[in-house]
């Protein structure tokens, strides 16, 4: 009787609520069996124990093993009959009813086979839940119990397969223990595949039930005021999926929902709060973009130009109190640049005065960046040549670069940042301009400016203003002495004093410094005149062809700057404005970029070395004294032959004069 599976069975066999004890094979097989049986009205089984044993056993031959298990729990007499040896054939024949379940092996107890296939998932020795059948041993033991049995030499005798099977007579073919073990392994593999199929089916059904409950919970949440995005959020779905209240529940009832609500509502409330905060932030950012684009109407023309305009500082929209209040308005209304509240704020005299005060504050802050000379009695000024600042810029295509600017006017055109503010380091707060560390003083550029001012004759170069330097050094050209005098594409260039500062700053940017000390050579007047003649136009004489024009109708920030023709086409196609007006629909923005400076010319390379251009034709100097053109020795002879019609034999050194290259 030690092999009978239903003697003194554990409470978990009948009244268990532990999900780890549920046998998926028993659940799936029982569900399939109930669907296959014809439906009938249940009747009492009280007369069944009174039948004769032979008749009763014949009736039981038509029952499934799971039905025999259920029948053994009806009454004591049926239980004793089914557990008696006379019912061994009944249990074994029960496995012939369902062709999908594994057959009971010959020589193995059919009752025990039923317990292995359909019994609860618990260890037979220590009753630990969640233990599967080990089909290599044909028993249900946990790992510690198997290890303990192996320590004693073998598993318990009642669980040893070989003791039952090897004692059977061998086949006439003489197959030995190896063939028998192969058959046992084959049966075990078949049972594992059968059990795995039931597990997968139960998993699929459980997922379908859970997804059905998730959809029902989402409907409940939407009825309580949550949006569809809240209910479909991954955090809420995960909270529903992991809620233990929904375990093996076929549907969501009000009772189940009330039990699960405390576990789900915190996640739903958190998701809704995060969504509302993100919407508020997005609405605030969109309003800020609209306010910044609309604030271009508060532009002011710089003194050096009557056409180019300077927008207000980019922090104006986040610093002017009425605009800050409008930006954080709790209403969900969309803010446009035609909003009466925004128009009234920007058209007020107080707003324009606030912009002027902001520029004054920025001017005062930039003064603090300049070096304080204790020996000088004059205070620092942004009108001097030593006021060289490095201001980061956002390029037309989104690339960031650092630009050296001189004086207040150039700094002002570089600090409005209508293309978008450059990035700020992570350890520096994005504060008011220029206190956030992005604008710095450039000592290298200031040193170059002082050196050049001393070369052109100023006694106190630190006190020289930009206007004075432009008046004296406008036509001067300089050559960098730190750069090698090479030939080909790497020749030294003749630069203006402003370009010399940019050259030294560029050469000292990065990890490799090549121009630590400024060293410059001043060209002679004739050499400078020849360099100015050879300079080709790079700046735009006509600003309509420069990419500085802004559409003053779009609510977009950073602005997209195009040529005037491109912006006119944009206004016609996007805004249906065929005749745009400058100042109302179009704005030319003052930028510190090279291509927006009218009349700027590209530097020219110097002709040095063996064939240096140091000769000037005397005949050309007499005919056109205002034009200075220098030649090399090998090029001036063909020039005199072709231009002045002299034979080669008559061309001598008396036809030209040699010019000093540097002073």
3-state secondary structure 175-190: CCHHHHHHHHHHHHHH
The backbone torsions φ and ψ at residue 217, rounded to the nearest 5 degrees and listed phi first, read -65, -40
Percent share of the chain, pLDDT over 90? 6
Residue showing tokens 């459980």: 206
Percent share of the chain, pLDDT over 70? 83
Looking at residue 409, its pLDDT comes to: 85
306-320 per-position pLDDT tens digit:
578 888 888 888 889
Q: Which of 7-11, 37-41, 465-469, 552-556 has the lowest mean pLDDT?
A: 7-11
- Model confidence band, residue 217 (pLDDT cutoffs 50, 70, 90): very high
pLDDT surpasses 90 at 663: no
Mean pLDDT over 599-626 rounds to 78
pLDDT surpasses 90 at 441: no
d(CA 586, CA 544): 11
Q: Which of 225-239, 244-258, 343-357, 487-501 has the lowest mean pLDDT?
A: 487-501
pLDDT surpasses 90 at 274: yes
User: DSSP of 23-51, one letter per residue?
Assistant: -HHHHHHHHHHHHHSPP------TTGGGS
- Domains of the chain, by residue range, sit at 12-168, 203-280, 316-437, 543-596, 607-663
Looking at residue 377, its pLDDT comes to: 59
Kindly report whether the global pTM for this prediction surpasses the value 0.95: no
d(CA 445, CA 443): 5
Looking at residue 272, its pLDDT comes to: 93
pLDDT surpasses 50 at 7: no
pLDDT surpasses 50 at 300: yes
Where residue 599 falls (left for φ over 0; alpha for ψ -120 to 50; beta otherwise) is left
d(CA 151, CA 409): 92
Mean pLDDT over 240-257 rounds to 87
Distances (CA, A) of 141 to 3, 115, 132, 165: 15, 13, 8, 20
- Model confidence band, residue 543 (pLDDT cutoffs 50, 70, 90): confident
Mean pLDDT over 389-410 rounds to 79
Looking at residue 62, its pLDDT comes to: 84
Highest mean pLDDT among 273-287, 432-446, 630-644: 273-287
Query: Is-contact 549 588, C-beta < 8 A?
Result: yes
- Model confidence band, residue 369 (pLDDT cutoffs 50, 70, 90): confident
- Model confidence band, residue 537 (pLDDT cutoffs 50, 70, 90): low
d(CA 662, CA 235): 75
Looking at residue 276, its pLDDT comes to: 92
Mean pLDDT over 75-80 rounds to 85
Q: Which of 24-38, 145-159, 363-377 has the lowest mean pLDDT?
A: 145-159
pLDDT surpasses 80 at 437: no
Looking at residue 375, its pLDDT comes to: 54
Mean pLDDT over 342-361 rounds to 89
Q: In the predicted model, what is the mean pLDDT of the chain?
A: 80
Task: Give me the sign of the Cα torsion angle 79, 85, 86, 88.
Answer: positive
pLDDT surpasses 90 at 268: yes
Which position has the higher pLDDT, 400 or 369?
369
Looking at residue 397, its pLDDT comes to: 63
Looking at residue 269, its pLDDT comes to: 93
> Exposed, middle or buried: residue 475 (CB in 10 Å: 0-12, 13-18, 19+)?
exposed
Looking at residue 433, its pLDDT comes to: 57
């Amino acid at each position: 009787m030690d092999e009978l599976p239903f003697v003194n069975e554990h409470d978990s066999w009948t009244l268990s609520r532990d999900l780890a004890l549920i046998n998926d094979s028993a659940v799936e097989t029982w569900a399939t069996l109930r669907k296959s049986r014809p439906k009938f009205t249940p009747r009492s089984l009280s007369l069944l124990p009174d039948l004769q044993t032979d008749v009763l056993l014949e009736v039981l031959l038509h029952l499934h093993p799971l039905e025999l298990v259920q029948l053994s729990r009806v009454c004591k007499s049926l239980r004793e009959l089914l557990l008696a040896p006379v019912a061994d054939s009944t249990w074994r024949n029960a496995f012939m009813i369902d062709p999908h379940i594994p057959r009971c092996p010959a020589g193995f107890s059919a009752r025990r086979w039923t317990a292995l296939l359909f019994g609860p998932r618990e260890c037979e020795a220590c009753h630990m839940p969640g233990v599967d059948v080990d089909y290599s041993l044909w028993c249900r033991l946990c790992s510690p119990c198997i290890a303990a049995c192996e320590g004693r030499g073998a598993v318990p005798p009642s669980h040893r397969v070989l003791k039952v099977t090897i004692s059977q007579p061998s086949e006439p073919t003489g197959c030995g223990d190896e063939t028998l073990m192969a058959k046992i392994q084959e049966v075990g593999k078949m049972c594992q595949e059968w059990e795995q199929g039931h597990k997968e089916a139960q998993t699929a059904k459980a997922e379908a039930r859970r997804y059905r409950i998730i959809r029902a919970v989402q409907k409940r949440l939407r009825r309580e005021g949550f949006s569809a995005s809240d209910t479909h959020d991954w955090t809420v779905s995960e909270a529903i999926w992991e809620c233990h209240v929904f375990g093996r529940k076929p549907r969501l009832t009000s009772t189940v929902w009330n039990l699960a609500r405390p576990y789900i509502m915190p996640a739903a409330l958190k998701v809704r709060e995060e969504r509302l905060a993100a919407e508020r932030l997005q609405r605030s950012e969109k309003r800020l973009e609209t306010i910044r684009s609309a604030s271009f109407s508060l532009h002011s023309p710089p003194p050096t130009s009557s056409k180019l305009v300077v927008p207000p500082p980019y922090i104006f929209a986040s610093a002017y109190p009425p605009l800050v209040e409008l930006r954080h308005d709790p209403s969900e209304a969309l803010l446009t640049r035609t909003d009466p509240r925004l128009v009234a704020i920007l058209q007020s005299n107080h707003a324009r005065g606030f912009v002027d005060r902001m520029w004054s504050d920025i001017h005062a802050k930039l003064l603090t960046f300049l070096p304080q000379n204790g020996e000088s009695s004059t205070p620092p000024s942004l009108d001097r040549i030593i006021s060289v600042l490095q201001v980061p810029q956002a390029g037309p295509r989104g690339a960031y670069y650092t630009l050296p600017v001189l004086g207040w006017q150039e700094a002002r055109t570089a600090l409005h940042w209508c293309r978008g503010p450059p990035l700020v380091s992570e350890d520096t707060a994005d504060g008011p301009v220029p206190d956030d560390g992005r604008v710095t003083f450039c000592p290298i550029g200031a040193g170059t400016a002082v050196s050049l001012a001393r070369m052109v004759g100023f006694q106190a170069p630190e006190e020289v203003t930009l206007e004075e330097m432009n008046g004296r050094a406008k036509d001067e050209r300089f050559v960098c002495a730190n750069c090698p005098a090479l030939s080909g594409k790497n020749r030294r260039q003749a630069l203006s004093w402003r370009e010399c500062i940019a050259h030294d700053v560029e050469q000292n940017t990065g990890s490799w410094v090549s121009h630590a000390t400024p060293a410059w050579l001043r060209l002679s007047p004739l050499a400078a005149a020849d360099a100015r003649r050879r300079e080709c136009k790079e700046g735009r004489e006509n600003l309509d062809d420069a990419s500085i024009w802004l559409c003053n109708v779009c609510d977009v920030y950073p602005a997209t700057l195009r040529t005037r023709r491109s912006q006119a086409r944009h206004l016609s196609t996007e805004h249906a404005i065929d005749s745009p007006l400058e100042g109302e629909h179009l704005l030319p923005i003052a930028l510190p970029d090279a291509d927006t400076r009218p009349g700027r010319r590209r530097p020219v390379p110097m002709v040095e070395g063996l064939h240096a251009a140091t000769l000037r034709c005397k005949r050309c100097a007499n005919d056109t004294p205002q034009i200075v053109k220098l030649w090399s020795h090998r090029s001036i002879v063909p020039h005199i032959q072709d231009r002045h019609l002299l034979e080669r034999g008559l061309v001598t050194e008396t036809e030209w004069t040699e010019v000093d290259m540097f002073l």
